[in-house]
Amino acid sequence: NAQAQFAPVGAEWIYNDLDANTQQNTPRGIVSVADTIINGHVCHIVIGDCACGTSQTNFIYGSSGKVYWYNSALNDFTLLYDFNLDEGQTWTVLAQSTISDSLQLQVDSTSVDTINGVFCRVQYIHTVATFGNAYVLEGPLVERVGSRLCLYPQYASCDPPTAGLRCYQDNFLGLYDTHFAPACEDIFIDSGIGIHEIENRNILSLAPNPFHDQAAITLIKYSGGEGILEITDAAGRLVRTGPVNSDHTIIRRGEMEEGIYFYHIRLQEATLSGKFIII
| pLDDT at site 18 | 65
* Closest of 269, 273, 215, 265 to residue 245, by C-alpha: 265
Would you call 5 helix, strand, or coil by DSSP?
helix
d(CA 50, CA 163): 10
Interacting residues of 258 by C-beta distance below 8 A, sequence separation 6+? 33, 47, 57, 278, 279
pTM confidence score: 0.68
Contact 69, 63 (CB under 8 A): no
Rg of the chain taking only CA atoms, in angstroms = 19
Contact 44, 67 (CB under 8 A): no
Would you call 207 helix, strand, or coil by DSSP?
strand
* Closest of 180, 175, 153, 154 to residue 165, by C-alpha: 180
Would you call 8 helix, strand, or coil by DSSP?
coil
> Would you give the distance in Å from CA 92 to the centre of its chain?
23
> What amino acid is encoded at 52 in this protein?
C
DSSP-assigned states of every residue in 40-83: TEEEEEEEE-SSSSSPEEEEEEEETTEEEEEETTTTEEEEEEET
User: Which residues of the chain, if any, have pLDDT below 70?
Assistant: 1-4, 18-26, 51-55, 97-99, 156-161, 180-203, 220-225, 234-236, 246-247, 268-271
Neighbour-count burial of 220, counting CB atoms closer than 10 A to its CB (0-12 exposed, 13-18 middle, 19+ buried): exposed
* Closest of 137, 129, 128 to residue 79, by C-alpha: 137
